[in-house]
Each structure stands twice: as C-alpha cells, then as structure tokens.
Amino acid sequence: MAICFLMVICFIWMPFFTSAALLTPPQNITILSTNMKHFLIWSPVAEIAPGEVIKYSVEFQGEYERDYANDSWIPIAECTDVSITQCDITEDISATVPYNLRVRASTGTQASLWATLNGFFNRVTTSLIPPMLTVTTDGYHLLAELEHLGPAFEFWIFYWKKGPESTVYHKVVRESTTTVHLETMEAGAEYCVKAQTYVEAINRSSNFSEVQCVKSEDAKVILLTFAPLFLIIFFVAVLVLPFLAWKTCRICQYSFCPDEVLPDTLKLTASPAKILKERGEEMEKCDESVQVLPSEDILLHFWIHETL
C-alpha cells in the first residue's frame, strides 16, 4: 500500500522532473557594459521538440534584496518571456553595488532551472569609451563639439596653444548638446584640444580622445575675407550718412515751426492772397509756439518789444 502510494506520488511528479531535466538552463551568461549601458546576454537554448518557441526570463538581486529582503529576486518586466537572448538591464542597475542576475528558459508549460551569472556585476566596471570630439574654428573662436551620452556624463576638455611651455586650460561641460566656445584665438596660432568623459556615479573617467589641432586664421586672411564687407560698409557710409543728415535737418525744421515749408504744388496753384493768408497763419502758429515760455523769457520779450 505504502509502496503503491509512493509510486503514485512519483508518477504525479515525474513530468516536472523530466521537463526540468529536458530543458537545459541558458549558458554562457555574460554582461556587456559600455558607457553605463548594461546588457545581459546568453547562448540560445536548444529546443526539445521542433517548432517549439523558447522564451527567456531574467531576474536580478541587488544588495538590498540580499541583505534585507530575504534573498528575493526581482523580475525584469521588459525581459520576461522574451524570445531574444539579451536583456537591457541599464534601468535596473541603479546603484553602484554588486548585482546578481539569473535567467531561465521556458516553453509553454515547461521551464528550465535558473542559471546564474558567474560572480556579481558592479557598474563600476563599465568600459568608458573616449568621447567623439570635433574641433572647429569660427573666425577667431575655438569651438568643440561632443557626442551626447546622457545626463550621467560630464566632459572634461583640455586645450592649449601649441608652442614651448604652453599652459593647458581645462573646461568642464555637463550639457554636450551644444557647441562649446573654448577660447578666442590669437591670429596665426595653432591650438590643440583633447577630451575625456567623467561619470560621477562611479567616480571614473575615460581615456582621452585623440588630440585634435586647428590653426586660427591669419590677420591677412581675415582682412581678405572681410574686404568686400568693409567696402560695402564704406559705400553705405558715404552715400547714406549725408542723406540722413539732410533728413534730420528737415525733421528739425518741421518740429520747430510746423507747416512752414509747403509742398511746391500748393505754392504754385494757390493765389498770392491765399499764400499771404497762410503765411500769416504760419506766423501765428510760430508765435503760439513761442508763447509757451518761462516768465523771465516773457519779460525779456516785453523788454525787447518796448525798447524797439
């Protein structure tokens, strides 16, 4: 009876043991980590029956889960039941502590045992690649352009004027989206630039990029390039300034004594009497404008009138 009972139990559990034994766990689990982007990759598992789709699931365990959460594992949602053999774990590796990672294969109802990464992964080991640097000039301005790597990255730029005993200057850039102005160059001098990335979260920096040198334009070259522009400015000055001066005089005249200068057509067509009348009105207008004077001026006015 007891043997029969045991046999029944064995029979019931048989499929689970066999399936676990049949579907091998993924092998060659490794981490590829470059510039703070981390990927878990593994070798594909051979299918048991032809046409069966093999899916993979990944879980991780950080220091907190190991020490305070009973050795629990956290599934990575984007890497649950996926058919590719890699997983972007960048978002889950959020601290500079050792992480453990595991992956298993499954087909429909069967699942393999978990296969764990050999050793821990710490993001401090990421490979930092020297940044892509483009050095250009704009007139006398020395400019540097850097690739965009995300908010975790700082760029340390070093630049110097080529020559004996030159000082090396240093600039830190946090936003790499725009072109950085480094220096106003001396005419005809050569300047060199190199850069490295720095990640504060891991207190590490990359190697330097290759040194790039550019020569600033000679004063003569600048003069030649801008000669036509200077010529245009000169002509504009010669032609426009006298006109502006004349225009300004006219405006002054109008504002001091409005309507004094009448259009020529009106002068020609109007009768002499009308012109005289208008002249009179103009005089009045001018007088009106003169009447708004400080009291001493009025006294002076009177005195002049009396004496004359």
Ligand X SMILES: *[C@@H]1O[C@H](CO)[C@@H](O)[C@H](O)[C@H]1NC(C)=O
Tell me: does residue 70 bind ligand X (CB under 6 A). Answer: yes
Cβ nearer to ligand X, comparing 127 with 248? 127
- For ligand X, which is the closer residue by CB, 57 or 196? 196
Q: Tell whether residue 28 is a contact of ligand X (CB under 6 A).
A: yes
Q: Which of residues 175-204 bind ligand X (CB under 6 A)?
A: 203
**Nearest approach, Cβ of 25 to ligand X (angstroms)?**
10
Per-position DSSP letters for the chain, written without gaps between them: -HHHHHHHHHHHHHHHHHHHHHSPPPEEEEEEEETTEEEEEEEPPPPSSTTPPPEEEEEEE-HHHHHHSTT--EE-GGGSSBSSSEEE-TTT--SSS-BEEEEEEEETTEEPPPEE-SS-B-GGGPBPPPPPEEEEEETTEEEEEE----TTEEEEEEEEESSTTPPEEEEEES--SSPEEEEEPPTT-EEEEEEEEEEGGGTEEPPPPPPEEEEPPPHHHHHHHHHHHHHHHHHHHHHHHHHHHHHHHHHHHHHHSTT-SPPHHHHHHS-HHHHHHHHHHHHHHHHHHHH---HHHHHHHHHHHHH-
User: CA 81 → CA 28, 67, 150, distances in Å?
Assistant: 19, 28, 29
x-marked contacts with ligand X along 120-159 as a string, rule CB under 6 A = -------x--------------------------------
Nearer to ligand X, 109 or 203 (CB): 203
Q: At closest approach, how far in Å is the CB of 219 from ligand X?
A: 39
Q: How far is CA 78 from CA 27, 61, 86, 113, in A?
A: 20, 16, 11, 20
Q: At closest approach, how far in Å is the CB of 46 from ligand X?
A: 8
Candidate residues 7, 13, 27, 166; the one interacting with ligand X per rule CB under 6 A: 27
Distance CA 215, CA 187 (A): 9
Residues 73-102 that bind ligand X (CB under 6 A): none
Q: Which tokens in the block code for residue 257?
A: 């004594």
CB of 67 to ligand X, least distance (A): 12
Least distance in angstroms from the C-beta of 35 to ligand X: 10
Residue 43 in the binding site for ligand X (CB under 6 A): yes
CB of 37 to ligand X, least distance (A): 14
Closer Cβ to ligand X, 169 or 198, answer by number: 198
| Residue in 207, 225, 248, 289 binding ligand X, rule: CB under 6 A | 207
- For residues 125 and 207, which CB has a smaller minimum distance to ligand X in the complex? 207
Closest residue to bound ligand X by CB: 43
Cβ proximity to ligand X: between 127 and 253 the closer is 127
Residue 103 CB, shortest distance to ligand X, in Å, is 13
CB of 217 to ligand X, least distance (A): 34
Chain residues in the site for ligand X (CB under 6 A): 27-28, 43, 70, 127, 203, 207
